[in-house]
Structures are given as C-alpha cells and as structure tokens.
C-alpha cells in the first residue's frame, strides 16, 4: 500500500480521503513505513513524530466526518526545522547548541498553524544547515542529508532535508523556505517544483522580523497543482506583518490550466555580472526551456535586467546576510539565557556574525539602501514602456525572466567545506553555485524552479522563471503549461519508496 500511495501528490491523496477510499491513519502509517524504510539512506528526517501523527490522523478522520476538514485533510507532511516552529516540538535550526539543550518551542508559528488548519499531519521535521546559511544540508549537529538521485551528492539547501524526502517519495510535499534560494536550490538539485512566493505573500510571524525582507515560506513538491493549492492554504497577512503582497484576484489553484496568453520572456544564461561560470548542462537546460516556451506560443529573446550586472550585489548582500546571522545568535542567546560563543556554532556561522559585528551601523544601512534602490532598477525591466517607470526603455515590458536555477548540477557532498583558518572560503564557493537566486530575494519577486532537464548521468537540472512582484499567477499559468508539455512527475530517483 505505501508504495502505491506514495505515487500520489498531496492533492490526489486529499481527494482519496474525501472520497472515503483511504483514511488519514492509513496515509500516515504508509508515510511512516516509507520513512523507516528509505530515510536511513538519506538522513532527511531528523525529528520523527510518528505517534503524535497517528493520534492526529484519528482526530482528522473525526473532523472529516463532521465536515470540518481543510483542503489537505489527512495528508502526511514534513516541516523544515527552521523558522516554522510547532508547539512542543524540537526546534534546533541546524544548531548543535540547541540540539544539546533539547530545545522545544512552546507555540506555533503562524505558518505552522495554517499548515495544521489545512489538514496536514506532520510526521516529522527535516534536516537543515546551521541557521540555513549555505546551499547544502550538511550540519555538524545532524550530519549530511544525501541526494536520492546520487547519495554522494548534496540535495542542496537550506531546505535539503525536505527536498530529499519529497524526491524520494516519503511524503508528497514538505515545508521549505527561501532567503537566498533555499526553496529553488534544492528543488533544482532534487528534481522538484520549488516556488518562492512574493515578499509578504506568506507570514513569517509572530517571531520573525528582519528576515521578512528576504525570506519567503512555501513548500517543495512534485506538481504544479500542489504548489498552487499550498499557496492558497498558507497565503495572506497576519497582524504586524512588515510586508503584505497584493491579494490574488482568484485562488491560485484556478491558475493551473488557465491560458497565459502570448508572453514576452527574457533569457539569461550567463551569471549576472560574470561572477561565476555556468556549466553547459545548466545553460542547455535554460535554452531548451526557451525553445519549449516558443513552441507554446511565447516570444523568447536574450535579455535581462542590466541592474543584475552591477558589481556591488555580493558585498551589500553579504552585509545584510551576516547581520541576520548575528541577530539570530544574539536572539538565541537571549532566549536560552546562555551566551553563544565561537565554540557553540560552526566556524562559518561565527565568522559571519563577527563580520557583521565589525560593520558600522551606517555601513549596514548603506547596504540596505543600495539593495532597495537597486530593486527598483531591476523591477523596471518588467514594467511596460507606458507605465511611468523611469527611465523609459525599449528593453522593458517583459513578462518573465528565464534562467538556469543553478550554475552547476548537484554537487558532491563536502564541496562547500572550508579549510581550517578560512571559514568564509566555502561560503564564497557557494556563491558561485547560486548566482541566479539571491537577487530575487532582495527584490521580493516570485520565482520558481522547474525540473525540466537532466544531465547525461541522470542528475536533475532546474530552470528558473521570475515574474514581476505579486504575479505568482503568471508563474503558475506558464509553469503548468510547461508541465503539461513536458511532464516531469513520472521520473523518480533510484533511492525512493518506489525504487
């Protein structure tokens, strides 16, 4: 039974529950069976909560009978062990400091509450790098998560545990979040759909504040209908949110199958600013996607926002990123009542925090000012010539930007390790792996990675589409068009529940 149920996406499983063909407990038991069978090869699920999940499945069945169930009633789910905390559950954010203190949260984040209201049943929490800093999932606290397409390779990060679990069929979808590509990176590395919503589309409350500038919450999954339906389930502002995205004109699920019309799409295959070498498999993936989009009636031309090529992106983003690390460590010191020192965290984490602490406040504000002003320059590429955006240019009025998601196919585990005495070396190496994702965390625009290509060795290679701020509807329509034209859900990795 577990293998058969593992073939369904979350929307399909929820339909089986509503039809009475399967019970929530049967779904949860099947997911637990898959996790126990497969996860020892992956190390994706670090905090199982099997007995609580079984109890919640029984309660879900009662609510379903009473007609009080959400859109994903009874569907098993995994939550990434960062930002999305759950009452009574371990919450370690990849930190051995919190692991050793067996830290548990006493309340739900707003997102966790919405997942529960949607009817999802959390069967465990997934592995993540310390504080989600790097694009791989190899924390000292819990060890490396392995890619189900090749266990010698990284599943990406920071949502690598969630992505590996979904790719291997342990659950149909799992929570993920994205501060510099952490939904899109593992989606590309594991052959999944990974949508980063617009800034303010999903709430990071009640605890997150500074991170709301760049972080977006959503899921990794296998199908476009799941991506849209999950966004419907969790979107919308909460009291005190710093940013609020424009409300959709209709449910996001209604965009799947809707005609996007003929769109103007820019193609970018070189790393912005020439700061990385993009490997041929990744270039080919984007070019092939462009040709497929043309067969679907869209106009594709080589173009991109020239502001992406400005040389100051890395320095200013590093200022912002390191300040967030320092803020997190100070926050955990205050919450635990114990001052975190260099020996309590990984060398990279401490180096970034110290970098931020040495930065004068005016310098941090200059970086923030530069990033926000440059956001306007980038956004003008999407604006029609008569919109009033200044300066007007013929190189504007695009609907989408098409790029590779990453500059390389999935890399070997250990690729981003740093030598002793140079803790930032691996971090800078990681930057050359991810040149296409961080800018759109700064601009707040929605972006999606789609599993449209593979290397000759069978490794997944994602392509990224980026829309104007607030236009997830355009992304969903076109991505669903691509899914119908070149289905990807029938290709599964060699390590998985159905292998």
Contact 204, 113 (CB under 8 A): no
Detail the DSSP E strand segments found in 99-250.
Answer: 121-126, 173-178, 193-196, 216-221
Q: Are strands 460-467 and 400-404 parallel, antiparallel or unpaired?
A: antiparallel
Cross-strand partners of 236: none
Angle subtended at Cα 313 by Cα 312 and Cα 316, rounded to the nearest 5 degrees: 85
* Residue 361, burial from CB neighbour count under 10 angstroms (0-12, 13-18, 19+): exposed
Structure tokens at 200: 């303010």
- Other Cβ atoms less than 10 A from the Cβ of 97: the count is 22
- In the block, tokens 């020239």 appear at 306
Contact 301, 401 (CB under 8 A): no
Contacts 24+ apart (CB under 8 A), 356-364: 356/319, 356/322, 356/323, 356/325, 356/326, 357/326, 359/319, 359/322, 359/323, 363/319, 364/319, 364/320, 364/323
3-state secondary structure of 109: coil
Closest CA to 411 of 132, 156, 138: 156
In angstroms, the CA 429 to CA 279 distance is: 15
373-394 per-residue burial string, b: 16 or more CB within 10 A, e: under 16: ebbeebbbbbbeeeeebeeeee
Q: Which residues are catalytic?
A: 80, 158, 182
3-state secondary structure of 58: helix
3-state secondary structure of 286: helix
């Amino acid at each position: 039974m577990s293998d058969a149920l593992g073939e369904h996406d979350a929307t399909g499983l929820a339909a089986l529950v509503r039809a009475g063909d399967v019970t929530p407990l049967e779904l949860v038991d099947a997911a637990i069976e898959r996790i126990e069978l497969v996860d020892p090869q992956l190390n994706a699920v670090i905090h199982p909560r099997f007995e609580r999940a079984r109890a919640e499945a029984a309660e879900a069945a009662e609510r379903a009978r009473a007609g009080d169930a959400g859109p994903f009633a009874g569907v098993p789910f995994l939550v990434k062990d960062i930002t999305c905390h759950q009452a009574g559950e371990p919450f370690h954010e990849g930190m051995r400091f919190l692991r050793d203190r067996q830290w548990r949260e006493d309340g739900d984040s707003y997102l966790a509450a919405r997942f529960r209201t949607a009817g999802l049943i959390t069967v465990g929490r997934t592995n993540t790098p310390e504080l989600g800093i790097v694009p791989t999932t190899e924390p000292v606290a819990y060890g490396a998560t392995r890619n189900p397409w090749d266990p010698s390779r990284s599943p990406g990060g920071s949502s690598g545990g969630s992505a590996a679990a979904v790719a291997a069929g342990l659950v149909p979808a799992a929570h993920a979040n994205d501060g510099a590509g952490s939904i899109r990176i593992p989606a590309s590395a594991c052959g999944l759909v990974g949508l980063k919503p617009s800034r303010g589309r999903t709430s990071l409350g009640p605890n997150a504040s500074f991170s709301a500038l760049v972080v977006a919450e959503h899921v990794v999954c296998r199908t476009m209908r799941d991506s849209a339906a999950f966004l419907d389930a969790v979107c919308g502002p909460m009291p005190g949110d710093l940013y609020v995205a424009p409300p959709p004109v209709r449910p996001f699920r209604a965009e799947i199958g809707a005609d996007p019309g003929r769109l103007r799409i820019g193609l970018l295959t070189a790393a912005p600013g020439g700061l990385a070498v993009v490997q041929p498999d990744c270039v080919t993936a984007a070019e092939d996607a462009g040709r497929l989009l043309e067969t679907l009636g869209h106009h594709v031309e080589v173009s991109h926002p020239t502001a992406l090529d400005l040389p100051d992106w890395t320095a200013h983003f590093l200022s912002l990123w390191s300040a967030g690390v320092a803020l997190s460590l100070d926050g955990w010191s205050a919450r635990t009542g114990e001052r975190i020192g260099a020996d309590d965290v990984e060398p990279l984490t401490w180096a970034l925090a110290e970098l931020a602490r040495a930065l004068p406040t005016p310098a941090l504000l200059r970086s923030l000012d530069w990033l926000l002003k440059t956001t306007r320059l980038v956004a003008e590429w999407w604006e029609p010539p008569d919109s009033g955006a200044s300066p007007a240019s013929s190189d504007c009025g695009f609907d989408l930007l098409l790029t590779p998601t990453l500059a390389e196919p999935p890399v070997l585990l250990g690729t981003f390790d740093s030598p002793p005495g140079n803790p930032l070396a691996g971090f800078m190496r990681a930057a050359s792996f991810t040149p296409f994702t961080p800018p759109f965390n700064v601009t707040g625009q929605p972006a999606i990675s789609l599993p449209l290509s593979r290397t000759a060795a069978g490794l997944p290679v994602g392509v990224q589409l980026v829309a104007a701020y607030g236009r997830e509807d355009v992304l969903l329509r076109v991505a669903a068009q691509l899914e119908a034209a070149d289905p990807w859900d029938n290709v599964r990795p060699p390590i998985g529940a159905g292998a």
